[in-house]
A and B are shown apart, each in its own frame.
Chain A
């Protein structure tokens, strides 16, 4: 069974990006990072949340990029922003000051409490893979009012124990984890529960891709199929990035 009503091919990244975009509401102030979050936030502005305010940690507040930026510091962001601030001001006043409604995070590893690793695979001193590191993630996780984590579901990613704790999970549990198989949210005690499956995905698949015994939420639902419009808009966005 296809994940879309139109039965077109859709990539895992597209599925995650579209479901992340659906989480955003008009008027929300959204801190956007590189990769799928960037696409998701810009997609939301083309769909149900045209008034979603995009903030990039490079210092652009209220950016309205015409094409999808590759980096968070592309000229298009600065040129269309309501305000530009220094990086110190961005982190101290806007992120640290608690003025971000939704922060996006990705990770190489996530644990059952939604703590994240973007630093090393293997030990810190002798890493098997050296990843980019923290960037803005620890403060976004600590200071945003809610967090959307976008991450592919695999046993290498959903691990019992992180190799390195780069960012702690949201302290009030306002987190949603969106994967290519479904969606998870923390339960009352902070442990992630599977709350939705994408169309055509069975629970067993999710459990197999999770490195611990996965808890299932009280009312496990199914995410609505991706619409042709969502897919068209996303692909148009991506094409705009390639056109440069």
Chain B
């Protein structure tokens, strides 16, 4: 039977300074509450992996939790820049940030290779772009059957992956539906996985387009309603587009960002 743990305990138990951590969710189901807990616990020197760093990694980077970022699109979707990410890359504030930069297809395949316990994934793409010369996790290979030149991406194996899902049952099986991103791949590629969920139910009734992660693939399930805000959980909430727009102003200035984080994250334990 599941004993749902407090998010605070799950993060404290599984995440150490210096680890490689993936918080996944492609626009939908981004585990913001878990990211905020990482910030509150003052984790440092993390290697952060996410296809779209989004606001949550903007916050982790701005709060000095990250040493390195592995990513494929560092913007605020439909709004513009991630100002804390930019400040770190352009000015080294609050600390220099090493970046490993993929295309979406590249990083998605790196997760899939990790989940499959393969050393690399393979795809068309990257050829001729400058991404290749700045990323030693990408290499050119020849197809052994046709001779076609393809790109290999080294597998991503996070120490811990964190996801947010709609439901878990009392055995700890985790159900998510709607846009499913790369969460299944990120969980199966990781050494350990933490899931925050909107609701714990007696029995899962998977709707169409569902992903189920069996209890034995998840190290900790935490009951955190609203834990994806300002991202969303289909069936429970909608994307807070106003907040995504407002973040542009909040995050532009270092002091204003710091004030916001203090008020809404450091001194708060409920999802901001």
Q: Which residues of A contact B (CB under 8 A)?
A: 34-35, 38, 57-60, 69-75, 77-79, 83-88, 91-92, 95-96, 119, 124, 127-139, 142-143, 164-168, 244
Contact = CB atoms under 8 A, between A and B. Distances in A.
Given A92-B108, A138-B126, 5 more contacts: A70-B78, A72-B78, A85-B180, A87-B182, A136-B105
B117 interface: no
Smallest CB-CB A-B distances: 5 pairs? A73-B27, A132-B75, A135-B73, A71-B77, A91-B105
B27 to A, nearest CB: 2
13 contacts: A34-B78, A58-B27, A70-B77, A70-B241, A74-B241, A77-B179, A78-B179, A79-B234, A87-B180, A87-B181, A132-B73, A142-B127, A164-B130
Interface stretch (B14-22, B96-104, B195-203, B249-257): B96-104
Contacts of B125: 96, 138-139, 142-143
Nearest to A38: B78
Contact of A71 (B72, B82, B109, B244): B244
Interface stretch (B84-92, B165-173, B259-267): B84-92
A107 to B, nearest CB: 13
A135 B131 CA distance: 12
Nearest to B85: A130
B176 to A, nearest CB: 11
Interface in B84-138: 85-86, 89-90, 101-105, 108-109, 111-112, 123-131, 134
A87 B108 contact: yes
Given A73-B27, A84-B178, A134-B102, A124 B134 contact: yes
Interface of B: 26-28, 51-52, 71-75, 77-79, 81-82, 85-86, 89-90, 101-105, 108-109, 111-112, 123-131, 134, 178-182, 184-185, 209, 211, 232, 234, 238-239, 241-242, 244-245
B104 A87 contact: yes
Contacts of B209: 78, 83-84
Contacts of A130: 74, 81, 85-86, 89-90
Contacts of A69: 78
Contacts of B180: 59, 84-87
A72 B77 contact: yes
B73 A138 contact: no
A96 B211 CA distance: 23
B253 to A, nearest CB: 17
A139 B89 contact: no
A184 to B, nearest CB: 21
A165 B178 contact: no
B103 A87 contact: no
Contacts of B123: 91-92, 96, 139
Given A73-B27, A87-B26, A88-B185, A134 B101 contact: yes
A58 B89 contact: no
